[in-house]
Amino acid sequence: MSAPRVRLAVWGGSFIAPLVVAAALIPVRARLAGAAMALLLVAVVAVLAVVADRGAGYVATASAAAWYDFYWAPPYGRFTIGHRPDLETFVALVVVGVGVTELAQWSRRSQRRHQESTRLVDAVAEGAALGASSEPVRAVVARTEELLVEVLELRACRYEPGDLEPPRARLGPNGEVENVGLLWPVDEWGLPGPELEIAVTWRGPVRGRFVITPRTAHPVSLERRVAAVAIAEAVASSLPGASGAGGP
C-alpha cells in the first residue's frame, strides 16, 4: 500500500476511534458525566497523536468533539449544544486535543533530532577510529564510502586519489557547497548533481576526494554535511594520496 493510502487509512481510523468510544458508552450515559466522557475522548486523541501523526491527532480531535456533541451533549442525537457547561466542555475538548497533538508532534521532532545527532556522532567517531587504525587502505576507503552514503543519504560514493581536474562542486568544512565559484543554496535545492566532491586534505594540500552522487532535490541538513566532511578529514592520513599512506 502506498504512503498516501496508508496515511488516509490512519486518518480514517482516527476518525472512527472516537466515534466507537462515544457510541459504545451510551448505555452508561446516565451514570457517566459529560466531562468524564470528554476526558476519555481526549485520552483517545492523545494515543492517536502519539502513535500516528499530527494529521491523525487533528482528525481525532474533530471527531471526538463532533461525537461528544452528538451523543453526550443534550439534546442528544443532534449537532446542537443546549447548555453552557456542555459548550464549555466541548471547547475545552477541542483546545486540549489540539494542544496534545502539538505536544506529541514536538516530542516526536525532538526525539528524531536526538536520534540523528547520536547517529552522526557515532559515524564521526567511527571515521576517527578508521583513520587511527591499522586496517588495509582498501577496507578504510570502502567503509568510509559506506559511512558517507549513510550520513548524506547518497546514491553512490567513491574515492579518487589526487586533486584532479576538472573541479566539481565541492562540499566544504562548514557544510556549504561551492559550485562554479558560487555558494549553492543547499537548504532550498539539496546537493547539486550529478556529482560533487569532498576534498581530503593532509598537512595542507588536497590529496584526494570523495566523489558523491546525491539524490535529486533531496534535503540534507547542515549537521549531516558537516559530519560528512569531518569523517573524510578523519580518515585522511590513511587514504591513497596522503603522505605516508599505505597502498590498497
* Beta bridge pairs of residue 212: 157, 196
The tens digit of pLDDT for each residue in 172-223 reads: 888 888 877 778 888 778 888 788 989 888 777 777 889 999 987 788 888 9
pTM, whole model, 2 decimals?
Answer: 0.67
- Total domain count for the chain? 2
Q: What is the dihedral of CA 106, 107, 108, 113, to 10 degrees?
A: 90
Give the chain's end-to-end CA distance (angstroms, integer).
Answer: 46
The tens digit of pLDDT for each residue in 224-237 reads: 999 999 999 888 87
Query: Does one domain contain both 77 and 166?
Result: no
Query: Does one domain contain both 85 and 177?
Result: no
Distance, in Å, from the CA atom of 60 to the CA atom of 39, rounded to the nearest integer, reads 13
Distance, in Å, from the CA atom of 63 to the CA atom of 101, rounded to the nearest integer, reads 14
Query: Does one domain contain both 18 and 107?
Result: yes
Residue corresponding to grid cell 508532534: 105
Give the Cα-Cα-Cα angle 97, 99, 105 (nearest 5 degrees): 105
pLDDT of residue 245: 47
The tens digit of pLDDT for each residue in 38-60 reads: 999 999 999 999 888 899 999 99
Higher pLDDT, 238 or 16: 16
The tens digit of pLDDT for each residue in 115-139 reads: 989 999 999 999 999 888 888 888 9
pLDDT of residue 57: 93
Domain of 71 in residue numbering reads as: 3-111
In a domain, 201, yes or no: yes
